[in-house]
Amino acid sequence: MLTWVGRILYRFRVSALLIAMAITLVAALFGSGVFDALKGTSSIEDPHSQSAQGQALLDSKLNADAIDVVILMSSSTLHATDPAFTQAATQLLTTLKARPQVASITSYYSTQDSSLISRDGHETIALLQLATKGERDSNYNAIAPLITSPVLHITLGGSVVADMQFNHQVSTDLSFAETITLPIVVIMLLFIFGSPIAALLPLLIGGIAIACSFSVLRILTNFIGVSSFAINVTSFIGLGLAIDYSLFIVTRFREELAADERDVIGALQRTMATAGRTIIFSGLTVGTSLIALLLFPEVLLQSIGLAAIATALVAMLAALLVLPVLLALLGRNINLLSFARLFRRRTTHKHAQGAWYRLSYRVMRWSLPVTIVTVALLLFLGSPFLHASFSTADESVLPPGSSSAIVLHHLKYDFPNQNGSEIDIVVRTNGTATSSGNLALLSFYVQKVQAIKGITNVRSLVSVDPRITLGEYQQIYAYPQASPQIASVAHLLANGNLSKVIVQTNYAFTSADAQRVVRQIRALSVPEGIVTFVAGSTAAQMDLFSSLRTTIPYALLVMISAIFVLLFLLTGSLVMPLKAVILNVLSLSATFGALVWIFQDGHLANVLGFQSVGSLDSTQPVLVFAIAFGLSMDYEVFLLSRIKEQFDKTGNNRESVAIGLQRTGQLITSAALLLTVVVGAFATSKLVLIQQIGLGVALAIIMDATLVRVLLVPAMMNLLGTWNWWAPRPLQALQERIGLKEHVSVDVQQDYAVVHLVDVEQEGEPV
């Protein structure tokens, strides 16, 4: 099939190029709007969890929308209760409240709540909810110029401000990473190819892949909330894979063309049948690894998984359909302006026994010691992961100088009770929540909640004022005119058959004590006739961790099973896929250990410019594992395909490993270096979450291309010998029928045989 595709692309090369240019232009114009369609942070909660269901009821039925904007007002000389401070703050808040974009404002001056004033008295906060009509960003932009004061210092935070700052930082970081990456990649490609024409092709394919990927990403935003993280993931996967695939195809094309520069169509067909087939297999490998992300119910992981899969497939298609057209047009001009011959020695027939060939034999000579030492090193590097701790992301992931991060810092350390956790309980009853019978059930339940150690306050329909008895509450809600002030609480805390119970503690929401309180509340026996949903930050984090722990085993099973099947179809062996998975897991364990050492323990905080929070974001190991696993298997495919090709010809395991490594070692190393530069550039991000992904994937690639591919693969394949290729006879027959094999022409096979015989004679050994 690929030979036929190569022939068709060569025949219609001009028309195919014009079509590709038109598609790329449309994709670039359409995809440029993706930044405006993304969300700063997509939902990281399991929509089926108790906390998510409770929060959905709070938001839709109980007027409990999250605070959109936090206004921090401060003065170095005035206290918040001083007349001048009070007048300036009241004037600002009155102006804002009159705007249609503002739904409500809660402040010390409207509630006399002392918890809204800092401990030193020089700061106060106002909590602002935007109107639900229209986009929140548009509503905020309309009032932002009004949030100023000649007397007070104003700092803005909250979810809307944080999302906007997050999106802006993502765009800035992406531009900066590309500015760093492109010059380095250009220099490396020039060095690798030795020709500016050949070096330009991977960059063109990378640009096409990114443009088309952004277009696909924008389409996805119409169906699912896509996080801004997806932009970064799309960029480095699209550019990295496009360069990798282009490197392999261009190298193979130049190799095939060297035999006869006039036979461009033959070189292109042979390239498509060999390197093109490997690229398809590699793209499927990366894509199937990322399918595991779709099993997670969290929208954040699903959206990034979809974006990454689409990007991998786009990069594969660009390399298989657009690059061959360019090669067909260039022909032997691919080597135009080549300067490689100025720096390289004239090649001899002994090209099969180069540095990689000799290195593999040295490694295989000491297979057991190399295996033991390398595995021990990987386990040592992974040991910090044993004390890993996890948390959920908040405004602290933003650069320390951003206003949202500053506001969060002040709330945690300057204000009483703001660092404590609030637990929201939604209570659903049979019938109206304010009926006498349901109030009695609620009172019985609230008394149980109040008895839990560590709870400082419980606010509900039956605990507004501790001096009022249950019977009096029942009378007040039955006859609201008797006590309008207390009866007004029903409007804030109840709606139909739903009511909310607000539980406050002095524990930080991430603390073990806060989690204990949530577990004890959920463990309470609920009176018959009511149903409860425990929500809030602590409950949401606990449910997220529980969801991840539940889903990860299934995701790993799907990922490993898919890779196992694909590698079996490639090699016809059950041992090779098992070995590949084990080595990949070892390599990734070392990567996770490095992430803990760097980001959780904070050893490189000054170098990378972040503030350690003493934990990793809970979603990052999942993302790093899925992305790095797929990219690492990418190189496994390249290496094993050449080893398998040689083994099928000779049946010599050691020689096949040596020749396979010789023919792919430089390519894999070059591809790994290029991908490391592309991915590693994102470690310069000001967002610690993107730093973790960029550095984590870069470290995984480095360790895989060095310790695993160069040392462990040759050593273990030598130890296993012919067992490398074992499979039961029925499976061998199946693989023979449906397996993925390279089909090399007869004359090419004979050429390889002649080269090998010449090598043997030159060594003075019997032929």
Mean of pLDDT values over 40-49 = 72
More confident call, 417 vs 582? 582
pLDDT reported for residue 744:
47
More confident residue, 198 or 155: 155
Q: What beta strand segments (E) does 195-237 contain?
A: none
Position 226 confidence tier, pLDDT thresholds 50, 70, 90 = confident
Burial class of 110 by CB neighbour count within 10 A (0 to 12, 13 to 18, 19+): middle
Contact 69, 146 (CB under 8 A): no
d(CA 562, CA 566): 6
β-bridge pairing 123-130 and 69-74: antiparallel
Q: How far is CA 718 from CA 72, 362, 374, 664, in A?
A: 66, 11, 15, 18
Confidence category of residue 133, pLDDT binned at 50, 70, 90? low
Average pLDDT over every residue of 325-349: 71
pLDDT tens digits, 531-570? 999 998 889 889 999 999 999 999 989 888 888 888 888 7
- Bridge partners, 494 (sequence order): 499
Q: Is residue 348 very low, low, confident or very high in pLDDT (cuts 50, 70, 90)?
A: very low
Say if residue 155's pLDDT is above 70: yes
- Residue 534 has a pLDDT of 93
* Backbone φ, ψ for residue 69 (5° rounding): -135, 135
Q: What pLDDT, on the 0 to 100 scale, is given for residue 668?
A: 84
3-state secondary structure of 275: helix
- The lowest-confidence range among 29-33, 267-271, 530-534, 751-755 is 751-755
In this predicted model, what pLDDT tens digit does every residue of 364-407 receive, in sequence order? 999 999 999 999 999 999 999 998 888 777 666 778 788 988 88
pLDDT of residue 67: 78
**Which three-class secondary structure state does DSSP give residue 179?**
helix
- Model confidence, pTM: 0.79
Per-residue pLDDT, averaged over 438-461, amounts to 90
240 pLDDT higher than 50: yes
What's the pLDDT score for residue 416? 72
Average pLDDT on 243-266 reads 86
Least confident of 54-58, 63-67, 121-125, 750-754: 750-754
With a pLDDT cut of 90, the percent of the chain lying above it is 22
Q: Which residue has the higher pLDDT, 163 or 343?
A: 163
Quick check: 116 and 107 in contact, CB under 8 A? yes
Using one digit for the tens of pLDDT, what is the confidence trace for 266-295?
889 988 888 888 888 888 888 888 888 889
Q: What is the mean pLDDT of residues 728-746?
A: 66
Contact assessment for residue 568 and residue 555, using Cβ atoms and an 8 Å cutoff: no
Inform me whether the pLDDT recorded for 65 exceeds 70: no
Q: What is the pLDDT of residues 705-734, one digit of tens each?
A: 888 888 898 999 899 888 888 888 888 777
DSSP β-bridge partners for residue 500: 426
pLDDT digits (tens, 9 = 90+) for 643-677: 887 888 888 888 888 888 888 888 888 888 888 88
Predicted confidence (pLDDT) at residue 759 exceeds the cutoff of 80: no
Percent of the chain at pLDDT > 70 equals 91
Q: What is the pLDDT of residue 729?
A: 85
pLDDT given at position 747? 40
Higher pLDDT, 50 or 620: 50
Mean residue pLDDT of the chain comes to 83
**Terminal CA-CA length for the chain:** 38
- Go through the domains of the chain in sequence order and give each one's CATH number: 2-39+164-337+353-388+543-747 (no CATH), 68-157 (3.30.70.1440), 406-542 (3.30.70)
Given pLDDT bands bounded at 50, 70 and 90, which one contains residue 521? Answer: very high
Res 765 pLDDT > 60: no
The DSSP string of 331-373 is GGGGGTT--GGGTSPPP-GGGGGSHHHHHHHHHHHTHHHHHHH
pLDDT band at 39 (very low <50, low <70, confident <90, very high): low
What whole-number distance in Å separates Cα of residue 228 and Cα of residue 130? 22
Cβ neighbours for 212, distance < 8 A, ≥ 6 positions apart: 23, 24, 27, 31, 314, 318
pLDDT of residue 733: 79
Report the residue count for the chain: 767
Which pLDDT tens digit goes with each residue over 187-221?
Answer: 888 888 888 888 888 889 988 988 888 888 888 88
Please report the pLDDT score of residue 63 as a whole number: 64
Distance in angstroms (rounded) separating the CA atoms of residues 637 and 286: 10
DSSP designation for 105: E
Task: Of 73-87, 191-205, 295-309, 753-767, give the range with the top mean pLDDT.
Answer: 73-87
pLDDT category of residue 229 using cuts at 50, 70 and 90:
confident
